[in-house]
Amino acid sequence: MAANSQFSMAVHILMMLARSRDENLKSDYIASSVNTNPVVIRRLLGQLGQANLVVSQTGANGGTRLSRCPSEINLSEVYKAVSCGEVFALHGKAPNQDCPVGRNIEAVLCNLQKEIDRSIGDKLSQFTLESVFEKVESLPTT
Amino acid sequence: MAANSQFSMAVHILMMLARSRDENLKSDYIASSVNTNPVVIRRLLGQLGQANLVVSQTGANGGTRLSRCPSEINLSEVYKAVSCGEVFALHGKAPNQDCPVGRNIEAVLCNLQKEIDRSIGDKLSQFTLESVFEKVESLPTT
DNA sequence: CATAACTGTAACTAGAATAGTTACAATTTA
DNA sequence: TAAATTGTAACTATTCTAGTTACAGTTATG
């Protein structure tokens, strides 16, 4: 399990919360839908909470709910919240600084990285939780 | 070193080849600029060759050169050639199929994945090797 | 034609990242 | 006070990447 599925799990979690409206959901309950351990869910909810997308309550009868209406949260916010790195990594070791290409390539790639990130953000911001929820609900439930 | 830097290394390699014009470059020489092992370079050249972006010659005085002019290769082709996976991974374990959300979320996420991939491809196709090379060359060489 | 210089590729290692797991302190309801 | 729940630290198993060694196959050239 080295591939990063945090964004997928985060969206799944948020769909569960969108469906439950104002009711608090427990991490155990969400975990049983995502099919993982409740701690994995609580870790993600922590990140989503720091991004002000959800609100959690500790203690008996606690749980988590959306901080806003599903139409007011978009996937770009979710993507940023779970911070799953960049599309591609820069060089692990620094290139040879004595080479004209090696000396400058990192700066160029870094700018490119930022441009692509912007593209992804733009695309993701077109989807609200509400619009994604509609797709999930409208699928032919086999 | 778990982050995937193949795209970065591939672009670095192609910049070296763009700079050398028609002359064959050895994997050893490229490796010394990228600051890695020649085998790592040859593996990447293999993928770039399969995508018809470069041509290699075995044997003494062999090496690799671009298969086309730098203005006729764009970064989208490079990205596809090194196939560095998707922006985000789908669920590792399949979600709970007894849950209305778990049952449908994967299909929705999969479509989303494809849309984002298209966005990245569109953005990357705006950059030719030539245009990237100009940026590398124009940077203030400290 | 023999040799040296290359590429191509298989096999292995080391290190890092993810998700999963256990355990437990802190908080809150009832 | 007891039970339920989150928050979080610590550890493990799995998987990925890059790096490395080794060597077979290919080709130019003296």
Domain ranges, ordered by start, for chain B: 6-85+128-138
What own/partner pairs with CB < 8 Å and gap ≥ 24 does B137-141 have?
Answer: B137/A100, B137/A104, B139/A103, B139/A104, B139/A107, B139/A108, B141/A100, B141/A103, B141/A104
Closest nucleotide to B55, Cα to C1': C7
Contact B136 A96 (CB under 8 A): no
Q: How far apart are CA B30 and CA B33, in angstroms?
A: 5
User: Could you tell me if B41 and B27 are in contact, meaning their C-beta atoms sit under 8 angstroms apart?
Assistant: yes
CA atoms within 13 A on the CB side of A70: 19
- Third-level CATH fold of B6-85+128-138: Arc Repressor Mutant, subunit A (1.10.10)
Residue B86 is predicted with a pLDDT of 86
Whether nucleic acid strand D comes within 7 Å of the CB of B90, the answer is no
Contact B99 A8 (CB under 8 A): no
Residue A85 is predicted with a pLDDT of 73
Q: How far apart are CA B136 and CA B85, in angstroms?
A: 26
Q: Give every CB contact of residue B54 below 8 A, 6+ residues apart in sequence.
A: B14, B17, B45, B48, B64, B65, B66, B67
pLDDT for B28-73, tens place per residue?
999 999 999 999 999 999 999 999 999 999 999 999 999 999 999 9
Q: Taking residues A121-141, report their average pLDDT.
A: 94
Q: How does strand A63-66 pair with strand B54-57? A: unpaired
Residue A77 is predicted with a pLDDT of 98
On strand D, nucleotides with any atom < 7 Å from a protein CB are 2-10, 13-22, 25-29
Closest-approach residue (CA) in chain A for B82: A88
Percentage, residues of chain B above pLDDT 90: 90
Residue A69 is predicted with a pLDDT of 97
Q: Taking residues A70-96, report their average pLDDT.
A: 94
Chain B nearest C-alpha distance from A30 (Å): 10
Percentage, residues of chain A above pLDDT 70: 98
Whether nucleic acid strand D comes within 7 Å of the CB of B58, the answer is yes
Q: Taking residues A113-126, report their average pLDDT.
A: 96
User: Could you tell me if A83 and A51 are in contact, meaning their C-beta atoms sit under 8 angstroms apart?
Assistant: no
Q: Give every CB contact of residue B122 below 8 A, 6+ residues apart in sequence.
A: A119, B76
Contacts of A94 in chain B (CB under 8 A): 35
Residue B130 is predicted with a pLDDT of 98
Whether A18 shows a pLDDT value over 70: the answer reads yes
Percentage, residues of chain A above pLDDT 90: 90
For residue B103, give the nearest of A92, A102, A141 by CB distance. Answer: A141
Amino acid A43 CA to nucleotide D9 C1' distance, rounded Å: 12
Residue B142 is predicted with a pLDDT of 61
pLDDT, averaged across chain A = 95
Q: What is the CATH number of domain A6-86+128-138?
A: 1.10.10.10
Contacts of B35 in chain A (CB under 8 A): 91, 93-96, 102
Whether nucleic acid strand D comes within 7 Å of the CB of B32, the answer is no
Q: How far apart are CA A48 and CA A50, in angstroms?
A: 5
- CA angle, B128 then B134 then B139, to 5°: 135
